[in-house]
Amino acid sequence: MKLVLGLVIGMAFGAILQLGGASSYKKIMGSLLLKDLDVIKLILMSIAVGTVGIYALDLVDMANISIKPTYVVGITIAGLIFGVGFAVAGYCPGTCIVAAAEGKTDAVVTILGGLAGALIYALVYPAFKGLIEITNYGEVTFASAFGVNGIWVAIPFSAVLFLLMFKVLKDRY
Amino acid sequence: MQDQPVLSWKVAGLLLGLLLITATALVKPLGVSTQYVVTDAIVLHRAAPNATESNEYLSKYGERDDWGIGYGWMLVFGMFVGGGLSAFITKRFRQRENPSLPSMWREEFGSSSPRRMMHAFAGGALLLFGARLAGGCTSGHMISGISQLTIGSFIFGISIFASGIVTARLLYKRRLAL
């Protein structure tokens, strides 16, 4: 049953990314070149909706929240490496799956590169483990850091994102 | 050439947000990059079981006799199926002149497929190395993590765009100069 649910949620995920243009090399590079921010705005919109929905569900204890640990140095280095890969490939680990399904063969190669990169990480993990241990603040959020319920941060955060999408970025890109 | 997306960013973003809420209510937030490790582990467990069992990182993603396909893997497989179906239905399947070359790439770097493939492979390797070090990618960290207000996910998002924007500008110097 879980497997079928995974398939259905995944199909919706893939279709939304495809229909929204998030699996397009041109759209992704347009975002990184700051020429066409549609993909960034798509992500901001999903977060603006998602954050309020998740923490509203959490109020009635219906959200299976899963917070990743914050290790500042390791995550910063990881993000810098990921960003270079993002621009060089023109896809991310999810959008290359969708682009491959659209028949784009360079995206198939990005998946293969991804499998290689994950394997390289597994092989050098003992040497990099230290980066996960230093400056690790655990499963901390902007709500838990302030000691408030998530919804009280989610609502103003979502409002800021809507302002950003519809006022700040609106005419410029 | 069907160049424009079917849905606007507003509609697609809204649907993605609703899907994230649904997934979080039913199972857990969305994530992709772990499944690259799972796929490696599934393959390697058959090819080199002892080495795989003794690898500290891979062995976290499976136990002896249980290196297999779960909810997360089916989700990524579903992305392929769903993305392919919607491309097919909306007539956006295999629309490129050369399936390996984005038109934007060709304008900047010419029509060498091997060169594009090298970039695609190296980029993919960097993506997953970074994602595994961070513990998530654009979906797990950015969309799911920032939605849950995780501080590390904000840091990840900022550093992705910092190096992504610089790298993109270095790659597309000529285009920017026009």
Task: Give the span between the Cα atoms of B167 and A22, in whole angstroms.
Answer: 19
Q: Write down the ipTM of this complex.
A: 0.96
Q: Among B26, B36, B149, select the one facing A154 at the smallest CB separation.
A: B149
> What pLDDT sits at residue B60?
82
Residue of A nearest to B113 (CA): A106
Token couple for A115: 């499998």
Say whether residue A26 is in contact with chain B using an 8 A CB cutoff: yes
> What pLDDT sits at residue B46?
86
Mean pLDDT of A73-80: 98
Mean pLDDT of A83-111: 98
Residue of B2, B16, B67 for testing the chain A interface, max A β-carbons within 10 Å? B16
Chain A to chain B Cβ contacts (< 8 Å):
512
> What pLDDT sits at residue A131?
96
Task: Give the span between the Cα atoms of A57 and B11, in whole angstroms.
Answer: 22
Residues B74, A137: C-beta atoms closer than 8 Å: no
b/e per residue A41-69 (b: at least 16 CB within 10 A): bbbbbbbbbbbbbbbbbbeeeebebbbbb
pLDDT tens track for A120-151: 999 999 999 999 999 999 999 999 999 999 99
Taking contacts as CB-CB distances below 8 angstroms, the residues of chain A near B70 are 2-3, 6
> What pLDDT sits at residue B53?
87
Q: Is B3 helix (H, G, I), strand (E, B) or coil?
A: coil
> What pLDDT sits at residue B59?
84
What distance in Å separates residue A139's CA from the closest CA in chain B? 7
Lowest mean pLDDT among A15-24, A68-77, B41-50: B41-50
> What pLDDT sits at residue A173?
56
What distance in Å separates residue A31's CA from the closest CA in chain B? 8
Task: Give the span between the Cα atoms of A138 and A136, in whole angstroms.
Answer: 6
Listed as ranges, residues in chain B with pLDDT below 70 are 1-3, 62-66, 178
> What pLDDT sits at residue B141?
97
| Residue A86 clears pLDDT 80, i.e. is over it | yes
